[in-house]
Amino acid sequence: MEREELKSIVENILLASDQPVTPDDLQSTLMNGTEKSELQSLLKELQEEYQSRNLKIEEIAGGYQLCTRPEYSEWVRKFLKLDKTTKLSQPSLDTLSIIAYKQPLTKQEVEEIRGVDCGGVIRTLLDKKIVGPAGRKKVPGRPIMYRTTRKFLEYFGLKDLVDLPTLEDLQEELSGDLENNAQEEMDFNTPPVQNASLEDEDGDEDPPQLVVPEKKSSFPNNEEDAVSSSSSSHDLDSEV
């Protein structure tokens, strides 16, 4: 099979898939003896070609996915009638952050860090399939340990857990924000800004979120950073 034809097949599979596609997925689909290294090379080549197009190919959760660009997410969301209230609440983000950085760990260990009961929040994260069981800890009672899942990587647009920011990264980002705020306060020529509201135009409260930088991922990111162009969305269901 010619390389250009193979590239066209891979491109169409990316378009049709509702989740990241790995070289292993392509190899098992094609079954024509194509080496995994060649498929990896094709995916990288397509990713570079799409840098100048209106869509982009992102490396997420160990695979590649064809996505819309962030600057057009508002229109895609409006067309798909996606509800902005499906974002995670602050307690869920806090619990998920602890699990992501210290996994695997038990519910009791999460509660010792947060200082509050986390049973309901963990059940919600399990229902949304962004955390899952990771076996039982070898201590009396054999409590279940929890870890993040592949859907966690997909939802937050991370290639791997190593893309989570370090404490130094977060401190640098926080320091930069504080410096910017100080400069704004000292600029007396800047016209007054209207008070910001936590509510959308429809009156729904918008839960707080952290934002992932473009190049260096930060946990967790705004879910509007990348909306999949496939038929199904990775938006999570509303938290009950």
What does the domain layout of the chain look like in residue ranges? 3-73, 88-185+199-222
Q: Would you say the CATH fold of 88-185+199-222 matches that of 3-73?
A: yes
CATH fold of 88-185+199-222, please? Arc Repressor Mutant, subunit A (1.10.10)
Residue 18, phi then psi, degrees to nearest 5: -100, 10
CATH code at 3-73:
1.10.10.10
Q: Could you read off the pLDDT of 119-160 as tens digits, one per residue?
A: 999 999 999 889 999 999 999 989 999 999 988 988 888 888
- Weakest-pLDDT range from 76-80, 108-112, 169-173, 176-180: 176-180
Nearest to 96 by CA among 56, 137, 52, 128: 128
Q: Could you read off the pLDDT of 43-62 as tens digits, one per residue?
A: 999 999 999 999 999 988 88
Best mean pLDDT range from 73-82, 183-192, 196-205:
73-82
Beta bridge partners of 105: 146
Nearest to 14 by CA among 5, 3, 28, 25: 25
pTM of the model: 0.54
